[in-house]
Amino acid sequence: MVECGRHLNIEILTLAEVTSVSGSIGDFKIQVRQAPRYIDMDKCIACGLCAQKCPKKVDDGFNEGINKRKAAYIQYGQTVPLKYLIDPHACIYLTKGKCRACEKFCPTDAINFEDQAATVDLAVGAVILAPGFAAFDPSPFEIYGYGQLPDVVTSLEYERLLSASGPCMGHLTRPSDQREPRKIAWLQCVGSRSTNRCDNAYCSSACCMYAIKQSLVTAEHLSGDSVEQTIFYMDMRTHGKEFERYFEDAKDKGVRFVRARPHTIMPGAHNSGVRLTYTGEDGAQVETDFDMLVLSVGLEAPADAGILAERFGIELDEFRFARTANSDAVASSRQGVFVTGAFQSPKAIPRSVTEASAASAAAAIALADAKGSLAKEKVYPKELDLAGQAPRVGVFICACGINIANVVDVAAVATFAATLPGVVMVENNLFTCATDTQTLIAQKIEAHQLNRVVVAACTPRTHEPLFQDTLREAGINPYLFEMANIRNHNAWVHQSAPEEATAKAKDQVRMAVAKVLLNAPLTPATVDVAQEVLVVGGGLAGMTAALGMADLGFKTVLVERQDTLGGNAKRLNTSYKGESIAAMVESHAAAVTAHPAIRVLTQTRVSAVAGSVGNFTTTLEVAGSRETVAFGAAILATGAKEHTAETYCYGQDPRIRTHQEFDALLKSDHPALDAAETTVFIQCVGSREPQRPYCSRVCCTHSIKSAIALKKRKPAMNVFVLNRDIRTYGKRETLYAEARRLGVIFIRYALADKPRVVVAPDALQVTVSDHILQLPIEIAADHLVLATGIVPQGNSDIFELFKCSVNADGFVNEAHPKLRPVDSSVDGVFVAGMCNYPKPIEEALVQARAAVAKAGALLSQTRMRLDPIKSIVTDKCDGCALCLDVCPYNALSLVAVEADNDTGGETHSRIISEMALCKGCGLCAATCPKEGIHVLGFTQDQIQAQIEAALAPVRERMGTAPDPVD
């Protein structure tokens, strides 16, 4: 959010509503009505006095109405833009004509009761709709007890109760008596996967994971061991990357998972807590008391989705989500209007973020001709020349809401920091990263003539760039800055030792100040960015990525090791929405082949990769010959493959097939299909087992799609799907319902009691323990389909060449699952499709588009600034070349220095460091026996200063004078 708020090319219109849309792609005219804020954004300094003095209290919508806010308010501490507003429906003056208390106290005269609604006219080329979702409201349904029983809350309310910035400040209490609950139950699928009570037929996709997360966070928030968490569920849907492990981990940590739907929810003793009655898996009726019940409410289209759709002229589906095709999941029914997030279909954050990038790529491709024509570039003030100035350090100490301040005494740290040498100013902040604090830092820099800044807050790994930018805006070199990580490395990990944590925080600040005193201004070098892209893998994801990059105007090389394009998609029949995949492959392959900016290289292998972001080179082996290609960014889309079954007699009988083999049979229209009386599908073959502890995501939908095809072909056929959980997430749930309606029989089995298969001449004998009868049943099957999982392609050598990290299962890791879902661990290398994780086609295509957005943004700059943390050779280098061998990036070389006055008239050798190759690892510095090479920003002096500072308390205790050594 902060990044959005700061971005020069993003204009934020708050309190805004689109009132009319006209025109078409490339030339939309959009009218926006902006409601009055009653507070002047330019004048408001977010001091909060208006809210403090406002006498009117109303329910705080952000905290789900659990607590109160004032009529003058901000939603929450990190709001962007951080400016107060007045709620016209609550404000006493605006409703009754008297009060204006806020106006009297506002120190900047920002209150403006005369504020009027404004109309803003926008001319845009494309539109992206991301209105999000509305949480399902359980209050009309008496069965849940919501609204009648105080300790029944929705998952969103519970989220706020758990939150450190929520109404309980992170100290969870239940609503009825404000006591800490010890026994908490979650009820899944509230408002999802049901049509009985006018709720929603689809699966909301996110609730299983958020319930597990809440159960684990609960254990963290409640003290003591006697916390019991029970999740009542229908199917556990942990089908995302690393989700299954998370589920297993929760089980190991004692979270109880009960497959049951409590049918009666009664009040507990003294109207506190709840009494749940449910039928267990063994058929027995169980009655249990819980202190709290959390309703895992589903995701719905926003209430005004219909109005939005009408204004933009787009179609909605039967659930009021935007109608999209699987071949292009971000394109609405109107050209130039794109959709993303839960408005497209219910989904959690990682896919929403990926989809958002895909939508931006789609919009960028649509407007490729106008690329960059309106973009603004940030101009920083000229850096102040600080040469010869004595250090003047400002220290900003963050409370991070209560994240730090709960453990570390931030006021004491501030008092201490003021005593440190060079420090001329110390300030405590509630959120040092907040937008208004950046303004404050800039003001302090000017007022106190600071020339160095220390922020004691969270980790420099996420927040250093933000503060460095603030310094640049204030005319200070961004490397005259240090952070002390008193949150991640302190408050969060020493929660029960506040005194020691405070002492440690002081040391951390002392160390940061000691280092910053020695920091020198650094200036980054810039390098050219090669305007070409390498796409590895010619499946649907790779082809989509190549087309996207080429449409953005970049020369693209598409490398495929097989002799044709298409990958796995060649063996699939239809998407879950029934679209022909063969048609998709054909049109993509034709487009890729015909595109003038794309070079397709089939039967080609990547045999070497060198260079770094912006400037890579690769050696390609094309039909026996070698070729070198230069590129600025790469997209890896090397796919995955069907696991070869090792169980259930696979390979012993032609009637036993995998998914893809059965797809081929279905496609061939073979008479054996009509002759068959019984077909059995077995799910999770080789998946969700200790050796492959992940869910392959696509198999449930695939089996059900095939089962429906069989039932439609021959309604009398017996079709069984033996499963552990059915994971038809999102709108796929409608297929599951349809299969049941058509008479497909679903029988659940347990991992410990798998089905058994015996090959007999007349039929395949499948034995499975029926979960309702609690008895083994035998099925004589004509066809057995094994839903084998998806495994990596077995091409880990490519990932090694690119130095991309993979997870324990062999799938390429993303840099951050939520924030950077298509970046690999290597800058400039992006990932799309199944090499990242098993996924259906529409998600692979979305990911490919997202990779296009990221690679396109990288290549949109023809020159790129390099990180200035690089090795630098000092005068002490005598060319001994010990460092040469240890440099892992081949950045160092030995050159002869001509004899001159500086060398005392002698010829000698010297090391030089290549900036673009050096990564600043400092192996050279640690190898050099004579301080002949340093890493800028991490010189020996700077590190020594930190060590001295860290050990200062030891010296004080021992009464030794500083630095007895040397």
Partner 1 sequence: MREPFEPVIVGFLCNWCAYAGGDLAGVSRLQYPPNMRAVRVMCSGMVHPDMVVDTLSKGADGVLVMG
Residue 316 or 925: the one with the smaller Cβ distance to partner 1 is 925
Q: Read off the tokens for 624.
A: 């026996």
Rg over CA atoms, the chain = 31
Q: How far is the CB of 958 from partner 1 (least distance, A)?
A: 7
Q: How far is the CB of 953 from partner 1 (least distance, A)?
A: 7
Calpha distance 700→728 (Å, rounded): 6
Q: How far is the CB of 171 from partner 1 (least distance, A)?
A: 15
Q: What is the full DSSP assignment across 626-654?
A: EEEEEESEEEE---EEEPPP-STTTTS-T
Calpha distance 433→459 (Å, rounded): 11
Could you tell me if 318 and 108 are in contact, meaning their C-beta atoms sit under 8 angstroms apart? Answer: no
Q: How far is the CB of 889 from partner 1 (least distance, A)?
A: 11
Name, in order, each residue with C-beta under 8 angstroms of 429's C-beta and a sequence gap of 6 or more. 396, 397, 398, 399, 437, 440
Q: How many CA atoms lie within 13 A of 247 on its CB side?
A: 21
Q: How far is the CB of 464 from partner 1 (least distance, A)?
A: 10
Q: How far is the CB of 396 from partner 1 (least distance, A)?
A: 18
Handedness of CA 749, 750, 753, 754 (dihedral sign): positive
The candidate with the shortest Cα–Cα distance to 622, out of 543, 671, 559, 681, is 559
Residue 490 or 556: the one with the smaller Cβ distance to partner 1 is 490
Q: How far is the CB of 966 from partner 1 (least distance, A)?
A: 9
Residue 619 or 944: the one with the smaller Cβ distance to partner 1 is 944
Q: How far is the CB of 960 from partner 1 (least distance, A)?
A: 7
Three-state DSSP class for 377?
coil
Q: Read off the tokens for 177.
A: 């008596």
Calpha distance 868→865 (Å, rounded): 9
Total length of the chain: 966
Q: How far is the CB of 492 from partner 1 (least distance, A)?
A: 4
Residue 99 or 923: the one with the smaller Cβ distance to partner 1 is 923
Residue 819 or 899: the one with the smaller Cβ distance to partner 1 is 819
Q: Read off the tokens for 604.
A: 């080609």
Q: How far is the CB of 421 from partner 1 (least distance, A)?
A: 18
Calpha distance 293→275 (Å, rounded): 9
Residue 432 or 769: the one with the smaller Cβ distance to partner 1 is 432
Calpha distance 309→330 (Å, rounded): 15
Q: How far is the CB of 409 from partner 1 (least distance, A)?
A: 14
Pairing relationship of beta strands 598-601 and 555-559 according to DSSP bridges: parallel
Peptide bond into 821 cis (omega under 30): no
Q: How far is the CB of 816 from partner 1 (least distance, A)?
A: 11
Residue 458 or 682: the one with the smaller Cβ distance to partner 1 is 458
E runs forming strands in 824-929: 829-831, 863-865, 871-873, 892-897, 908-913
Residue 12 or 947: the one with the smaller Cβ distance to partner 1 is 947
Residue 824 or 946: the one with the smaller Cβ distance to partner 1 is 946
Q: How far is the CB of 559 from partner 1 (least distance, A)?
A: 29
Pairing relationship of beta strands 16-24 and 27-34 according to DSSP bridges: antiparallel
Residue 226 or 496: the one with the smaller Cβ distance to partner 1 is 496
Q: What is the largest CA-CA distance in the chain?
A: 99
Give bridge partners of residue 548 from the DSSP assignment.
none
Q: How far is the CB of 179 from partner 1 (least distance, A)?
A: 23
Q: How far is the CB of 3 from partner 1 (least distance, A)?
A: 19
- List Cα–Cα distances, 818 to 223, 241, 350, in angstroms: 29, 11, 5
Residue 459 or 523: the one with the smaller Cβ distance to partner 1 is 459
Residue 714 or 919: the one with the smaller Cβ distance to partner 1 is 919
Give the angle subtended at the CA of 290 by the CAs of 284 and 291, to the nearest 5°.
175
Residue 133 or 247: the one with the smaller Cβ distance to partner 1 is 247
Q: How far is the CB of 935 from partner 1 (least distance, A)?
A: 6
Residue 141 or 492: the one with the smaller Cβ distance to partner 1 is 492
Residue 254 or 715: the one with the smaller Cβ distance to partner 1 is 254
Could you tell me if 687 and 694 are in contact, meaning their C-beta atoms sit under 8 angstroms apart? Answer: yes
Long-range own/partner contacts, residues 251-256 (CB < 8 A, 24 or more apart): 253/216, 253/219, 254/219, 254/228, 254/229, 255/212, 255/215, 255/216, 255/219, 255/229, 255/230, 255/231, 256/228, 256/229, 256/230, 256/231
The whole-angstrom distance between residue 257's C-alpha and the CA centroid of its chain comes to 26
Angle between helices 841-859 and 540-551 (to 10 degrees): 30
Calpha distance 623→607 (Å, rounded): 13
Residue 462 or 644: the one with the smaller Cβ distance to partner 1 is 462
Burial of 219 (0-12, 13-18, 19+ CB in 10 A): middle
Give the angle subtended at the CA of 482 by the CAs of 478 and 483, to the nearest 5°.
125
Q: How far is the CB of 127 from partner 1 (least distance, A)?
A: 36
Q: Read off the tokens for 436.
A: 């208004």
At 160, the amino acid letter reads R
Buried b / exposed e over 820-847, threshold 16 CB at 10 Å, is bbbbbbbebbbbbbbbbbbbbbbbbbbb
Q: How far is the CB of 462 from partner 1 (least distance, A)?
A: 8
Q: Which positions touch partner 1 (CB under 8 A)?
A: 220, 459-462, 485, 487-490, 492-497, 500-501, 503-504, 507-508, 511, 869, 886, 919-923, 925-926, 928, 935, 937-938, 940, 943-944, 946-948, 950-951, 953-955, 958, 960, 963, 965
Residue 331 or 918: the one with the smaller Cβ distance to partner 1 is 918
Residue 110 or 453: the one with the smaller Cβ distance to partner 1 is 453
Pairing relationship of beta strands 598-601 and 615-622 according to DSSP bridges: unpaired
